[in-house]
A and B are shown apart, each in its own frame.
Chain A
Amino acid sequence: MVRLLQIEFIKLWNNRASKILITSYFLLLTSIALVAAIKFDIGPVQFHLADQGIFNFPYIWHFNTFVTAIFKLFLAIVIVSMMANEYSNKTIKQNLIDGLSKKEFIASKFLTVISFSLISTVFVFVVSMILGLVYSDYNEISIIFSDLEFLVAFFVKLVGFFSFCLFLGIFVKRSAFALGFLILWVILEQMVFGLLGWKVTSWESAKMIKSLFPLESMANLIKEPFSRLSAVQNIGQQIGENMSFDYQVYWYEFLIVILWTAIFVYLSYALLKKRDL
């Protein structure tokens, strides 16, 4: 396993573009701390974002995992191109000839995906922990360590998303087209949802079906955290809107994403096995 990771590390780290993207990704993950510095001071209106409770435990777990998940697009580019480049450079052929089995090849890519997700999760955990310890109003151990399922959801979400990228890379074989396909897929999921709700079934069941789609199921894992903020809640109450949403992460949501991950990894393997290089 270490060998497979080392192989992938050599390939990635010697590539300047990947190196820059990976570094900037992790810098961006850290940069969420800068949100704390957002301060407005316009005469009587004083606004300090850090004081609005976004860094309160356990809310910070929800907020940070949601916001940082947006940066995953950087790694998506790296992952799609690390797969597609093997095709365009024909190095995949050479790798296999040199004695890497097809299973090992996919395993090395998937292990890289797992490592990226794991490191990201640890990163978000550490950054959030520091921010929370500095700004949170509540510092009891039991509160700090509650709602940690958002970190697990973050990890599963990243693994799922990157596995999808991996599959697209192998399926399309060209990084630019694969990324285009990814965007197309986002639109496609929404369109199918729209069509289902409009023509086929009720909007209720269309929503149910939609939550089974790969990208939608990943998005569902961590729901938007903004309406949970007390400031937003206050405004909601003032205008008479009921703002009680369900923010929980459910086990079946995990299950759907894990299932998609398995499907994507298996399809990548099957595709590689079937193709003549």
Chain B
Amino acid sequence: METILTVQNLTKKFGFLTAVKDLSFTIEKGNVYGILGPNGSGKSTTLGIILNVVNRTAGEFSWFDGNTSTHEALKKVGAIIERPNFYPYMTAIQNLKLVCKIKEVPDTKIQEKLELVGLWDRKDSKFRTYSLGMKQRLAIASALLNDPEILILDEPTNGLDPQGIHQIREIIKKIAAQGTTILLASHLLDEVEKVCSHVVILRKGEKLYAGPVDGMLASHGFFELRTKDLEKLESLLEKNASFGKITRENGTLTAFLKEEMNAEELNKLLFEKGLVLSHLVKRKESLEEQFLTLTKNN
């Protein structure tokens, strides 16, 4: 697979504070990555370093094949960091034309991108007259002007109202569906869960986990079961080697798997033993549950 970004042993110190500590990960083309971590865990600093605005203390990072200079590579990247930063006295169009000049791309895409984020009607309004949501959407349009290989978003929904959040998420999903690699930093877990296939989890500048969302915990998920004879069900499952912990709550039995087993298999097994289920759901722990487990245990 094509590598877009390699980060090796990256460290950043602000005086006594170590914001990023010996961080390594790679980003492959076509995946949607999330960088997760509580506030102050080094997400923005990491992005700042790879985007050439924060100086690293130690370590390496390289874009694409490693032969392009960072600022040349950034022309193939679209990025939004924290707040949308544009010239307040210029209109959307003027601002985007400037970005085109910097990225050395023709300004033919401006209309397409402004339409994508729903700002074409307001193209001639000055940036300072925009609401926060509109500013954020303009930032996305600007980041997409060069049809980037990777889109980097740092807390894109921070400070937005529910409609704004929804709009931004829809746009992100649209972009992800087009096959663009995305790197999304956020402390909002459901946001990451909804769009990301891979995650990097940070805490106090240290990497706790990097890999697919599913592989975060070595877990095979769990079943939620309901039937008339719960006692019999419980004793049956306890005898089965595939199951570990079993809990009973409000007439529902939750049985955690120790090895892979699909719902049909279990259903068939129980039916053969004379148990008819009224409720059968197989679930995985939500990202939030996994995240909390990970950050708590360490």
Contacts and interface: CB of A to CB of B under 8 A. Distances in A.
Interface string B64-99: 000001111111010101010111111000100111
Given A98-B103, A99-B75, A100-B71, A276 B98 contact: no
A101 B79 CA distance: 15
Interface in B6-57: 14, 48, 51-55
Contacts of A3: 101, 104
B98 A7 contact: yes
B interface residue count range (under 10 / 10 to 19 / 20 to 34 / 35 or more): 20 to 34
A10 interface: yes
Contacts of A100: 71, 102
Given A6-B101, A97-B81, A98-B103, A277 B71 contact: no
Contact of B85 (A14, A93, A102): A93
Contacts of A14: 87, 89-90, 94
A174 to B, nearest CB: 16
Contacts of B102: 7, 95, 98-100
Nearest to B76: A99
Interface in A242-277: 273-274, 276-277
Interface residues of A, number: 26
Contacts of B73: 99
A276 B74 CA distance: 17
A120 B55 CA distance: 38
A16 B89 contact: yes
Contacts of B101: 3, 6-7, 10
Interface in A97-128: 97-102, 104
Interface string B141-170: 010000000000000000000000000000
Interface string A1-40: 0010011001100111000000000000000000000000
A110 to B, nearest CB: 17
Contacts of B52: 96-97, 101-102
Interface in A201-247: none
B186 to A, nearest CB: 18
A15 B53 CA distance: 25
A90 B97 contact: no
B86 to A, nearest CB: 7
Nearest to A277: B53
Contacts of A94: 81, 85-86
A11 B127 CA distance: 13
A146 interface: no
Given A10-B94, A98-B103, A91 B87 contact: yes
A7 B97 CA distance: 9
A97 B98 contact: no
Contact of B51 (A6, A7, A97, A101): A97
20 contacts: A3-B101, A3-B104, A10-B94, A10-B97, A15-B90, A89-B87, A91-B85, A93-B53, A93-B81, A94-B86, A95-B102, A96-B53, A97-B81, A98-B75, A98-B142, A99-B102, A99-B103, A101-B52, A101-B69, A277-B54
Interface of A: 3, 6-7, 10-11, 14-16, 89-91, 93-102, 104, 273-274, 276-277
